[in-house]
Amino acid sequence: MDTTVVLVWIYVVVTILSTLHADRNVYPSAGVLFVHVLEREHFKGEFPPYPKPGDSSNDPITFNTNLMGYPDRPGWLRYIQRTSHSDGVLYGSPTAEHVGKATIIEIIAYNRRTFETARHNLVINVMSTEEYPLPYQAEFYIKNMNVEEMLASEVLGDFLGAVKNVWQPERLNAVNITSALDRGGRVPLPINNLKEGVYVMVGADVQFSSCLREVENPHNQLRCSQEMEPVISCDKKFRAQFDIDWCKINLVDITKRIMVHSNRPDPGTGVLPDIGGYNPPPESLKSRDFFADFLITLAVPSAVAMVLFSVLGYSMCCRREGVDKRNMQTPDIQLVHHNSIQKSTKELRSMSKNREISWPLSTLPVFSQSGEVVPPIHPDNYETTSMPLMQTQTNLQNQIQIPQQQPSGKWYS
């Protein structure tokens, strides 16, 4: 009984592992948008369960996708995963060049809780279609959507339904979806729930409707040039869910488009060819003489600087006239006049040093720096009414007294 239970468990485990590691095949059509969701639930069975029951869905899982044997994906295939708790999405639009070629994408799931990985293979078999390419293609810019939101099947279906009501084609397909960040857009500020924006290209088999052509009339072109919203009659069919920038709509008629570089060469796989190992230069290299470089960079500027220094030194030191030569060229009368002025100046300065003048009391300091009271120059009984403000006499006793009139009417000297 125990042996049977063990064999059953082994069979179940082998079946699960073979199912998980088996290659998954998908069959997209050329010229039609391909979307493949990397579901986190599909990879959780390969990782150990979370210690707490029911919390295994909270494991942060990220994905790494690349073409087998190469470090990156093909040029037409893109990948996005917003957070480690959301599913990853592979999306793109294969062309006729990829028809009949099996593209194997290696998918490595990385569990950031247990640091374990799981590897899967996705085999993309591009199929040809008779309606490829659709001759009339219109590209819309939707401002209120992110690329992962637009890739959801229900959102993309609602948008195609709105376009079909406006265009009325027999066949309508989503050709490609591109994030505005891949077109040079800026990351929006994290306020007011702003979106990055997304470009959606759809193709149809009939001419563009009159509503789509309204953006080409001069009035709307003028409003677009003035950064104003154009007047489009069918905008109300999109406005409820999709905010479309009609100034950025692009209408392409493939039947009238001129083919350029029709015979261009094969772009290749994007991998550089193997040119062998590194071949360093030989050791027998000819030595280089740097004497000429030394003369040009150091000797020549130094020589020029020395010549300039010599000329400046000769002009400053050897060409001076001197005082004697200046006096010889000066007239005698001018020298005599100059000497007399100098003598008078010296005499006045010596006389000013020898003057003993009593300064007015208003100009003398009351307190010294030490805080002591400075005694007055004149005694208290000294008559100051007859002393002038600026005294120039050396002897105060020789001053002329102004006669004063007494009440008796007599004059006293």
Task: Give the C-alpha separation, 166 to 239, whole Å.
Answer: 13
* Longest alpha-carbon distance in the chain: 164
- The strand pairing partners of 188, in sequence order, are none
Per the prediction, the chain carries an average pLDDT of 77
H or E segment to which residue 67 belongs: strand 61-67
H or E segment to which residue 110 belongs: strand 102-111
Report in angstroms the alpha-carbon separations of 230 from 22, 212, 215, 235, 315. 53, 12, 7, 10, 80
AA letter at 87 = D
pLDDT number for residue 304: 93
Class of domain 25-125: mainly beta
| 334 vs 389: which has the higher pLDDT | 334
Lowest mean pLDDT among 30-39, 129-138, 268-277, 320-329: 268-277
Per-domain boundaries in the chain: 25-125, 136-253
0.85 surpassed by pTM: no
The tokens of 5 are what?
């239970």
**Mean of pLDDT values over 29-35:** 89
pLDDT band (50, 70, 90) for residue 324: confident
Query: What tens digit of pLDDT does each residue of 131-170 get?
Result: 777 889 999 999 989 998 999 889 999 999 999 999 988 8
Angle at 27 between CA 26 and CA 30, to 5 degrees: 135
Query: What tens digit of pLDDT does each residue of 377-400 get?
Result: 555 555 545 545 444 444 444 444
Task: Give the C-alpha separation, 42 to 40, whole Å.
Answer: 5
Task: Give the C-alpha separation, 123 to 12, whole Å.
Answer: 25
Task: Give the C-alpha separation, 361 to 212, whole Å.
Answer: 104
Q: Which of 119, 107, 69 is nearest to 270 (CA)?
A: 69
